[in-house]
Amino acid sequence: MKQRIWMMVLCLTLVVSTLVGCTGSGSQSKAESSKAAESSKQESSKPAESSKPAESSKEESSAPEDPYGAGNFSYPMDAITLSINVDAIDRTTIPEWVSGHYFWDVLTERTGVTLERIGSASKPQEASEAFLLLLVSNEYPDMFQANFITLPGGPSAAISDGYIIALNDYKEYFPGLCQVMADNSNIAKDISLDDGSLFCFPSIVEASPTGTGFSVRADYLEKIGEEIPETVEDWHRVLTKFKEELKLSAPLTFEMRWLYLEYAAAGLSNPWNVCYPFYMDGTAVKFGPQEEGYRDFVAEMAKWYKEGLLDPDIASVDKKVVQSKTATGEAGISLQQIANTQNCIKAAAAENNTEFKLAGVKGMVMNKGDKVEFGHCVNAFAGNNSISISTQCTNIPAACRFCDYGYTEEGSLLYAYGEEGFSWNYVDGVPTFTEIVTANPDMPEAQAARYAVGQFRNWAVRCVTPYAHMGEEVLSIAEAFNSNMPSHAYPTVTYTDEEQEAISKWTDVDLAARQWITNFILGNNDISEYDTMMEELNQMGLQDVLQARQAAADRYNAR
């Protein structure tokens, strides 16, 4: 992985040459500098004597007790500073209403850990230039927040190349996460490598209900004398009435990108038992467009577009436009993220539109009573926002205990809701936000207020209540978003070097597939050219990608 990271950095910036020159003496060659850096990494990857007592030391009665061990440990720890590659907090932006209860300050009080934020943050889904520069600098923080799955060689190479440590020898210092893994074998597989190495404290989102789905103007259904549609035939009939009887300009609207991301529009292709891009059929990895059912789905969408049942602007609308068309009444059914659905409800209320009413719509089925197998889904663990311990960490047990706090009962409540009595209280045994979050005049967006008192996402923590700050109306709508997709979603895997080479072809294959499918729906290409599309995708390496994904999924399932 090292060589490839160097190449990535060199392609991104010429500044690296200066940075490398600073890591050794001016007389050192690049090879000598690299060897020195490697030696330094190997030494720093060894636990410090104070970090984890040797077994022989534990047996000696004169040896000092381990303050982080199970028999002696409690939060908060003695004051300690740990460094991490996240951006500094601009404290001038902290609202006055949260003074004394600001999440990061409370976390320091609860754990005893002050975070030294050194910057060089990594993007959630890929390495940033700043993060790559940090890796090649040979000077690491105690903890990395990064998605090592997306780096060349993945977490396995990150361990072997001396960037991060395997956590297996330190399990006694993270009992909370160990319990999560014991309760959920999939999480244990997600953060383990093929050789059993644990590489991170994961960011886990166990979201229920699902965060993106279809909603319909229930008041419009009443006007046309229809129920919430279920089958393909129902949807077609309802959308036709929206167009012809109510003169809606966009009977069904959504962002075209949702056809290709997060299985968000999979509820539309569900009747044909397919979705884009890769999904699991038992243990077999399938590429949706390669299956006959996907051709039929695309043909149906092309038909709907030609008939004026799809938004004529579907290729260009973004989520704000979709939200606007739903709130103003141009659209009858929309596919949106749950937050935007809530915004539509708020907008209608602000306009005193008492007729406006939304209802959730399940994914389409071919026949009444059929189960909705495919729908929006984001894996509980996707690699992003997770924390790994660097080989240069000066106190590994303390770092593990700090990270583990988010998986303890007390820590989970703090991360999810903030401080009891301020931002939440128990109501009938259920943690419930106070009006400081749900009706804060200084911060009317409940999600923003929630981030001031907690950190329920975007961190290495187990999130089981991502939508707890939203109103009952929108949550009832979102109940329709659920499907059996978790059983079909392609897992978060790691690839071998050979597989990584094959997977690198996916970017171009994906782009070409999206262009073809979009053009089929818009009528720019006739569906009779579908085989031509598949021939082109295969020539670009689709089958190599599919084989690599299958091999990686097989190893994942064998963990």
pLDDT at residue number 476: 94
Examine the pLDDT at 542 and tell me if it is beyond 80. yes
| 536 lies in some domain | no
In this structure, the answer to whether residues 82 and 196 fall within a common structural domain is yes
**Residue 338 and residue 279 in one domain:** yes
Q: What is the DSSP string of 312-332?
A: TTTTT--HHHHHHHHHHTSEE
Q: Residue 64 has what pLDDT? A: 73
Do 225 and 371 share a structural domain? yes
* Cβ atoms of residues 142 and 395 within 8 Å: yes
Q: Are residues 178 and 263 in the same domain?
A: no
Tell me the pLDDT tens digit for each residue of 180-200: 999 999 999 999 999 999 999
Note the pLDDT of residue 9: 63
Q: Which of 530, 525, 523 is nearest to 307 (CA)?
A: 523
Model pLDDT, residue 206: 76
- In this prediction, residue 125 carries a pLDDT of 84
Confidence class for position 208, pLDDT limits 50, 70, 90: low
pLDDT beyond 60 at 527: yes
Residue 221 resides in a domain: yes
Tell me if 558 is assigned to some domain: no
* CA 6 to each of CA 10, 134, 135, 162, 494: distance values in angstroms, whole numbers, following the listed order: 6, 11, 9, 15, 21
Q: How many domains does the chain have?
A: 2
Q: Of the ranges 150-154, 281-285, 379-383, which is most confident? A: 281-285
* Mean local confidence (pLDDT), 156-177: 97
The proportion of the chain whose per-residue pLDDT surpasses 90, expressed as a percent, equals 83
CA–CA separation, 516 and 518 (whole Å) = 6
Q: What is the mean pLDDT of residues 387-406?
A: 98
For 116, the domain range is: 2-10+70-206+382-460
Query: Out of 199-203, 239-243, 468-472, 506-510, which region has the weakest mean confidence (pLDDT)?
Result: 468-472
> Is 440 domain-assigned?
yes
Helical packing angle, 103-111 and 446-453, nearest 10°: 30
**What's the burial of 61, exposed, middle or buried (CB within 10 Å: 0-12/13-18/19+)?**
exposed
The reply to whether 345 and 477 lie within a common domain is yes
| Residue 318 reports pLDDT greater than 80 | yes
In this prediction, residue 361 has a pLDDT band, given cuts at 50, 70 and 90, of very high
Average pLDDT over residues 427-454: 95
Percent of the chain surpassing pLDDT 70: 88
Question: Taking the model in full, what pTM does it have?
Answer: 0.86
* Chain-centre distance for alpha carbon 541: 27
* Residue 184 phi, psi dihedral angles, 5° rounding: -135, 100
User: Does a structural domain hold residue 404?
Assistant: yes
Please check whether residues 95 and 176 belong to one and the same domain. yes
Kindly state whether residue 428 falls inside one of the protein's structural domains. yes
Return the SS3 of 299.
helix
State residue 210's pLDDT score: 82
Residues 543 and 554: their CA atoms lie apart, in Å, by 16
Same domain flag for 223 and 175: no
Does residue 365 share a domain with residue 275? yes
Examine the pLDDT at 311 and tell me if it is beyond 80.
yes
User: What stretch of H or E contains 219?
Assistant: helix 218-224
How far is Cα 419 from Cα 99, in angstroms, rounded to an integer?
Answer: 12
Q: How far is CA 372 from the centre of its chain?
A: 23
Residue 35 has pLDDT above 80, yes or no: no
Q: Is residue 456 part of a domain?
A: yes
| Mean pLDDT for all residues in the chain | 90
Query: Which pLDDT band, with edges at 50, 70 and 90, does 28 fall under?
Result: very low
CATH value at residue 350: 3.40.190.10
Nearest-10 Cα torsion for 332, 335, 336, 337: 140
Same domain, 76 and 185: yes
Say yes or no: 254 and 365 in one domain: yes
Identify whether residues 225 and 81 lie together within a single domain.
Answer: no
Give a yes or no: residue 533 inside a domain.
no
- Are residues 162 and 234 located together in one domain of the fold? no
